[in-house]
C-alpha cells in the first residue's frame, strides 16, 4: 500500500436526522464530499490525513470501509445459502489495505499478514479480534449472531487471530442493510460523544446532538448564544470549543444541573490548558427560571436548548405552561429580525400549538426529525420576527446569580427545564450509562 497516494474510504455514524449537517462539516474540515445515508456519512480521505477524522465533532463512531456489497439478492436467500455467501465473500477480498490503515491510525505493530502454512510454529505478534454484525430489514433468513459467528470463524481460520469479545485489539464490523452489506474496521473504541462529558445526569444531551443543533443555528462571530435550560452544559461546551469568537451563557433552574454544567466546563478548561494553543472557554453558568429570564430585552442573538420531553423531566401537562412562557420570554430577550432559536423536543404536539400562538414572535424556518433512542424527536429552527411586543415588565426582572455561590435557597427547583433530555441514537451508537 503506497501511503502517499492511497485513498481510504471512511464511514461514520451520526445522529439520525443530522446527516446533511455533518456532510457540511466534512467538507469544511476535510475538504471532502461525503455521501449521506440514514444515520451514517461516508467520505474518502488520503492515507496521510487519516488522523483528521477525529476533528469531526458531529460523529459518534468512525470506521474504515474494507469492502461493500451493493444490491446482491443472495443476502436474501435461505439461511444456509446466505451465510455461505457472506463467508465466501469474507475470504475472497483483500483485507490488507484496510488493516494497514487501521494499524497506522492506532499506532500498533501487529503482524497482519496471512500465516505461512509451511511454518506452523512461527511466533507472531497477532491482534485479538471480534466481529460485530448489525442488520436492518425484514427479509433476512438469518440473525445477526449467526452472521458474526460464521464470519468470525472464517477470519480466525484465515489469520489465526485469537477471539476476544471484550477489549479486543481489532473490532470488525459487518453492517447488513436489506440486500447490501459493508465490511468495516472500527477506528474508535468508544463513541466520540463521550469526550467532553465527565459529570453525567439522568438526561444528559449527547454532545454530538448538541453540535448538530449549533451548526443548524450557525452562530456568527461575536454573537451571544444562550442555553436557558442547560442541564449538564453540552451545548455550551460544544459551542465554546468550536465557536471561539462567541460568548456562551448556560443556565438552569435546577441546582444539580448547574453544578454538573460547572463541573463539565471546569474539567474541559483544565484539559485545554494541557493542550498547547488552546485558550480559555468564553462562557458563564447561571441559575434562573426560563419563564422569568433576568436578561435585558433584545440582548441575546441565539437560543439553543433541549426542552423537557415530559418523560424523565417535567410532564406533558406542565409542558403546556413551560413552553408558552419560555418561548414568550425567549422572544422578549432575543434580538428582533436577526435572532433565532434552535429547540429540541419530543413533545411535538405541545410545541406546534405553542408556535401557532406566537406567529408574530417566531417564524419556523426548519423542522428536522431525529431519532433519539428510538423516539421520534424534532429540532426546530426558529427566526425571531420583527419586534411587535410591548415589554411592560422588562425592567423588573431579578438579577442573575452565578452558579458557584449562587444558589438562592428560596428558588423553587422544578423539573421543568431542569435537564437536557438525551436519547441514544438508534443508528450506530453504543448504549451509554448516564445517557437516556
C-alpha cell of 281? 472557554
Q: What is the CATH number of the domain that holds 157?
A: 3.30.2130.30
Q: Last residue of some domain: 192, 220, 239?
A: 192
Same domain, 107 and 161: yes
Same domain, 270 and 344: yes
C-alpha cell of 126? 497477532
Half-sphere exposure of 239 (CA within 13 A, CB side): 33
* pLDDT above 60: residue 50: yes
Q: What is the pLDDT of residues 182-231, one digit of tens each?
A: 999 999 988 887 777 888 776 688 899 999 999 999 999 999 999 999 98
Spatial separation of the C-alpha atoms in residues 105 and 63, rounded to whole Å: 11
Same domain, 180 and 323: no
Q: What is the CATH number of the domain that holds 276?
A: 3.40.50.150
Same domain, 218 and 342: yes
What domain range includes position 259?
193-402
Same domain, 216 and 94: no
Same domain, 359 and 391: yes
C-alpha cell of 258? 448547574
Q: What is the pLDDT of residues 261-319, one digit of tens each?
A: 899 888 888 887 777 567 677 789 999 999 999 999 999 999 999 998 654 555 676 88
Same domain, 43 and 170: yes
Element (H, E) at 350: helix 348-357
26-30, 58-62, 321-325, 385-389: range with lowest mean pLDDT: 385-389
Q: Are 185 and 98 a contacting pair, CB within 8 Å?
A: yes
Same domain, 183 and 281: no
Same domain, 180 and 269: no
Same domain, 25 and 116: yes
List helix spans (H) across 137-254: 144-159, 207-217, 234-242
Q: Structure pTM?
A: 0.83
Examine residue 228 and state whether it is found in any structural domain, yes or no: yes
Examine residue 253 and state whether it is found in any structural domain, yes or no: yes
Examine residue 435 and state whether it is found in any structural domain, yes or no: no
Spatial separation of the C-alpha atoms in residues 209 and 193, rounded to whole Å: 9
Q: Last residue of some domain: 139, 172, 192?
A: 192
**What Rg, from alpha-carbon coordinates, does the chain have?**
25
Q: What is the pLDDT of residues 339-351, one digit of tens each?
A: 999 999 988 999 9
Q: In this predicted structure, what is the pLDDT of residue 388?
A: 61
Same domain, 81 and 229: no
Examine residue 123 and state whether it is found in any structural domain, yes or no: yes
Q: Last residue of some domain: 171, 192, 213?
A: 192
Examine residue 411 and state whether it is found in any structural domain, yes or no: no
Which are the contacts of 159, defined by CB distance < 8 A and separation ≥ 6? 112, 114, 115, 126
Examine residue 235 and state whether it is found in any structural domain, yes or no: yes
Examine residue 113 and state whether it is found in any structural domain, yes or no: yes
Q: In this predicted structure, what is the pLDDT of residue 153?
A: 95
Which are the contacts of 293, defined by CB distance < 8 A and separation ≥ 6? 228, 329, 330, 332, 333, 397
Examine residue 46 and state whether it is found in any structural domain, yes or no: yes
Query: What number of residues does the chain have?
Result: 436
Element (H, E) at 340: strand 340-345
Q: For the chain, how many structural domains are there in total?
A: 2
Exposed / middle / buried, residue 324 (Cβ in 10 Å: 0-12, 13-18, 19+): middle
Same domain, 285 and 386: yes
Spatial separation of the C-alpha atoms in residues 213 and 382, rounded to whole Å: 12
Q: What is the pLDDT of residues 81-105, one digit of tens each?
A: 999 999 999 999 999 999 999 999 9
Amino acid at each position: 500500500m503506497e501511503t502517499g497516494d492511497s485513498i481510504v474510504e471512511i464511514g461514520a455514524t451520526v445522529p439520525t436526522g443530522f446527516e446533511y449537517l455533518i456532510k457540511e462539516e466534512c467538507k469544511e474540515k476535510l475538504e471532502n464530499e461525503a455521501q449521506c445515508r440514514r444515520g451514517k456519512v461516508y467520505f474518502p480521505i488520503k492515507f496521510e490525513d487519516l488522523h483528521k477524522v477525529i476533528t469531526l465533532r458531529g460523529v459518534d463512531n468512525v470506521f474504515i470501509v474494507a469492502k461493500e456489497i451493493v444490491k446482491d439478492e443472495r443476502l436474501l436467500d435461505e439461511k444456509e445459502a446466505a451465510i455461505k455467501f457472506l463467508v465466501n465473500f469474507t475470504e475472497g477480498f483483500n483485507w490488507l489495505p484496510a488493516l494497514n490503515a487501521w494499524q497506522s491510525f492506532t499506532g500498533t505493530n501487529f503482524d497482519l499478514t496471512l500465516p505461512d502454512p509451511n511454518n506452523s510454529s512461527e511466533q507472531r505478534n497477532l491482534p485479538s479480534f471480534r466481529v460485530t454484525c448489525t442488520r436492518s430489514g425484514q427479509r433476512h433468513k438469518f440473525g445477526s449472531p449467526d452472521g458474526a459467528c460464521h464470519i468470525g470463524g472464517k477470519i480466525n481460520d484465515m489469520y489465526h487471530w485469537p477471539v476476544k469479545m471484550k477489549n479486543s485489539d481489532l473490532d470488525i464490523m459487518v453492517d447488513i442493510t436489506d440486500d447490501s452489506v459493508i465490511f468495516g474496521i472500527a477506528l474508535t473504541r468508544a463513541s466520540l460523544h463521550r469526550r467532553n462529558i465527565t459529570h453525567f445526569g439522568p438526561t444528559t444531551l449527547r454532545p454530538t446532538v448538541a453540535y448538530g443543533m449549533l451548526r443548524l443555528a450557525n452562530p456568527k462571530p461575536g454573537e451571544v448564544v444562550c442555553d436557558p435550560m442547560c442541564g449538564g452544559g453540552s451545548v455550551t461546551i460544544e459551542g465554546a470549543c468550536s465557536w471561539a469568537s462567541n460568548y456562551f451563557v448556560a443556565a438552569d433552574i435546577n441546582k444539580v444541573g448547574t453544578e454538573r454544567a460547572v463541573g463539565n466546563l471546569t474539567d474541559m478548561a483544565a484539559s485545554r490548558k494541557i493542550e498547547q494553543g488552546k485558550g480559555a472557554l468564553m462562557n458563564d453558568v447561571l441559575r434562573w427560571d426560563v419563564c422569568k429570564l433576568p436578561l435585558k430585552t433584545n440582548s441575546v442573538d441565539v437560543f439553543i436548548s433541549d426542552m423537557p420531553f415530559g418523560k424523565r423531566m417535567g410532564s406533558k401537562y406542565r409542558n403546556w405552561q413551560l413552553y408558552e412562557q419560555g418561548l414568550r420570554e425567549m422572544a422578549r430577550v432575543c434580538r428582533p429580525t436577526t435572532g433565532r432559536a434552535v429547540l429540541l423536543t419530543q413533545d411535538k404536539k405541545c410545541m406546534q400549538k405553542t408556535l401557532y400562538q406566537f406567529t408574530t414572535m417566531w417564524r419556523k424556518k426548519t423542522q428536522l426529525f431525529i431519532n433519539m433512542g428510538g423516539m421520534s424527536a424534532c429540532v426546530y429552527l426558529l427566526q425571531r420576527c420583527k419586534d411587535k411586543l410591548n415589554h411592560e415588565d422588562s425592567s423588573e426582572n431579578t438579577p442573575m446569580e452565578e452558579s458557584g455561590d449562587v444558589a438562592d435557597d428560596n428558588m423553587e427547583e422544578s423539573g421543568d427545564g431542569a435537564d437536557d433530555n438525551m436519547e441514544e441514537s438508534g443508528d450506530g451508537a453504543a448504549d451509554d450509562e448516564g445517557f437516556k
